[in-house]
Structure 1
Amino acid sequence: MGERARLNGWIILDKPLGLGSTQAVGAVKRVCREAGLGKVKVGHGGTLDPLATGVLPIALGEATKLCGRMLDASKIYEFAVRFGTETAGLDAEGEVVAVSDVRPTLAEVEAVLPRFTGPIEQVPPAYSAIKIDGERAYDRARKGEEVEMKARGVTVHSLEPLPFRGGVGVGAIGLAQGRWPPPAATKPASRQVSLPSPEGEGVEEITLIAHVSKGTYIRSLARDIAYAVGTVGHVTMLRRTKAGPFDLSQAISLDKLNAFGQGAAQSEIFLPLEAGLVDIPALNLSPEAAGAIRRGRVWTGVATDDGLYWGRDDQDRPIALIEALAGTLKVVRGFNL
């Protein structure tokens, strides 16, 4: 595969703590320049807060045409909720705005989780990127303005405590790998790994795993779970383990990304464009159909079920996203490979 083809693909970054999504895109552009690849079109497939870690799909070249699909895809997160304190940002940053002496039992938390599974309404955090009258909510909140956020519908496909392994929640893995704690200025007073508590004993913190639709705010979910068990809370750890078709097994560290700029092989860094299409079926196109689809023409007389496909030519190269309806193929988004 030639260099041009390889640059029409993906870098799946295991985003470290403290790095913003826009900074991550900038890092990819810088590394590509260092590798002598010149100017490369780069975009990301779903914002991660600086205080969050994990899977950040970064698209290059023609793969940037799939960023919209990635933003619409469901995500899986591991997150820790610390009970007893609510902060302005609902995370480890910001001033404390509410406190409570109530600590729920593990059983009490588990009992309310079904309320937050399925289609739900949630109020996004005031410190979010949602625009209100053309201005980001977090910009208004940081200026001390009263920000009224409207409830929105989202879907939580699943929500449960993270399974325990050897008595320690697997969410504690991030602690061992150096992803915790955050900078000293934002570090909570103490850090307790979620452990099974004796029956009837309250827990300071619990680690959960959630599979959610686009637009779901984990910080809001944590806040509402705390309210449901009669206390307040905030997120102390947030890690995205899957975004659309991509998961941590495909993710690379920032160090490995930087190594590419110093001469590491492209094959260790990049995934092909079609790696972002594994959740929809491929459709093999004849040379005649491929030629027509490349030119944006409608192609008829194809025996296939209705639905969305990605078309590929006789060399297995992606041609376009295609909508099939009654044997007619129509281009949704073409790829210029």
Structure 2
Amino acid sequence: MQGFLNLNKPSGMTSHDCVAKVRKLLRLKRVGHGGTLDPAATGVLPIAVGKATRLLQFLPSQKAYIGTVRFGTITTTDDLEGEIVQSTPAPELMLSDIEAVLPNFLGKIEQVPPSYSAIQVQGKRLYDLARQGKTVEVPTRVVEVFNIEILDWRPGDFPEVDLAIACGSGTYIRAIARDLGAILNTGGTLAALTRTESSGFSRKNSLTFAEVENQLQENKFSLLSMEIALAHLPGIFLVAEDGKRWCQGQRLPYQKRWEIESEKTDNHFRVYNLEGEFLGIGQLIKSEQNLLLAPQVVISN
């Protein structure tokens, strides 16, 4: 069994917990996940099974979330899982105040990851250092936010706003909540988070653990095909002999008939035989004389 499971992760489980449960349900050891979700967060968690685990690195990086920001509250973890370090009512905050500053969070922005995160500093995870009470300087990182849309606004002593956020890999929504509260001088923390899209998978097509278990009991469960999440990569079709050589690890000279839109090196491609069988992922590399299609991941042997 090999392919992808578009899992709708429940709250209260780590991404590692989800992988462990999938291993148990499918009775398979080779299982991995793409794009870690915090335990309290819900939504899309791509799960790779079998040889598909080797394709996780090639999935698209774009992600989308719906996050609830609560103003007037600051926590150690930048979400409600942490200890509250400041709680000051902010009834004067208006929706127009938020609308005025949201453009600051669009495009390529510098972001300081939360102190409780999996980022490594000097070989140590930040959350491990934080639990030990050690204070370290967290380096900023450049992330990209493509779009922010206000979905709902609830005024009050501790007002909340629901935001739809489309972003690139490595973006911390907790950090956006924290920094949004800081720029508004109210303080802010992430009260809830759901990932609606990740690595080419959407929540509307995701499965809960209960649905997976029901489908398994009814013998109706099947994984998504391995190349379904790789549609963003162009495809190359090889004749029989070339396909055999490529699967054996040989590099093939670039051929005009492949009709590749871009001949830039370092580009990755889905590779098929003429029967449409998915062979794996190839990469164009430059030799002394010409371009070569080198195998990166061979799926079909």
What is the TM-score when the length of structure 2 is the normalising length?
A: 0.90
For residues 15-62 of structure 1, give each alpha carbon's deviation from its aligned partner in whole angstroms, at most 9, with x where no partner exists. 0111110000011100012xxxxx341100111011000000000111
SS at 1:333's partner residue? strand
Partner of 1:219: 174
Q: How does 1:104-115 map to 2 (within 5 A)?
A: 104-115=93-104
Higher relative contact order (CA 8 A, sep 6+): 1
Q: How does 1:266-285 map to 2 (within 5 A)?
A: 266-267=221-222, 270-285=223-238
Runs of 4+ off more than 4 Å: none
Partner of 2:13: 19
Coordinate RMSD, CA, aligned: 2.0
Partner of 2:76: 88
Which segments of 5 or more consecutive residues in structure 1 lack a partner in the other structure?
A: 1-6, 34-38, 163-168, 170-193
Q: How does 1:177-188 map to 2 (within 5 A)?
A: none
Structure number having the greater strand percentage = 2
Check conservation: 2:89, 2:158, Cα contact below 8 A.
Answer: no
Q: Distance in 2 between matches of 1:10 and 1:89?
A: 31
Check conservation: 1:9, 1:273, Cα contact below 8 A.
Answer: yes
Partner of 1:183: none
Structure 2 residue 44 is the aligned partner of structure 1 residue 55: yes
For residues 280-303 of structure 1, give each alpha carbon's deviation from its aligned partner in whole angstroms, at most 9, with x where no partner exists. 122222112211211111112411
Q: How does 1:1-337 map to 2 (within 5 A)?
A: 7-33=1-27, 39-70=28-59, 73-103=61-91, 104-162=93-151, 169=152, 194-195=153-154, 204-267=159-222, 270-303=223-256, 304-305=259-260, 306=263, 307-324=267-284, 328-336=292-300
Q: Distance in 1 between matches of 2:14 and 2:2?
A: 23
Check conservation: 1:302, 1:328, Cα contact below 8 A.
Answer: no
Check conservation: 1:80, 1:206, Cα contact below 8 A.
Answer: yes
Which amino acid is the alignment partner of residue 53 of structure 1?
Answer: T
Deviation at 1:116, TM superposition (A): 0.9
Q: Distance in 2 between matches of 1:135 and 1:67?
A: 24
Which segments of 5 or more consecutive residues in structure 2 lack a partner in the other structure?
A: none
Equivalenced residue count is 289
Check conservation: 1:76, 1:241, Cα contact below 8 A.
Answer: yes
Deviation at 1:263, TM superposition (A): 4.3
Partner of 1:176: none
Check conservation: 1:55, 1:242, Cα contact below 8 A.
Answer: yes
Check conservation: 1:83, 1:205, Cα contact below 8 A.
Answer: yes
Q: Distance in 2 between matches of 1:299 and 1:76?
A: 38
Q: Distance in 1 between matches of 2:74 and 2:219?
A: 44
For residues 131-189 of structure 1, give each alpha carbon's deviation from its aligned partner in whole angstroms, at most 9, with x where no partner exists. 22322211221222223311111111112212xxxxxx4xxxxxxxxxxxxxxxxxxxx
What percent identity do the matched residue pairs reach?
Answer: 35
Deviation at 1:204, TM superposition (A): 0.3
SS at 1:11's partner residue? strand
Q: Distance in 2 between matches of 1:147 and 1:260?
A: 47
Q: 1:82 to 1:301 in 2, by over 3 A?
A: closer
For residues 74-108 of structure 1, give each alpha carbon's deviation from its aligned partner in whole angstroms, at most 9, with x where no partner exists. 21111000000011111111211123333421111
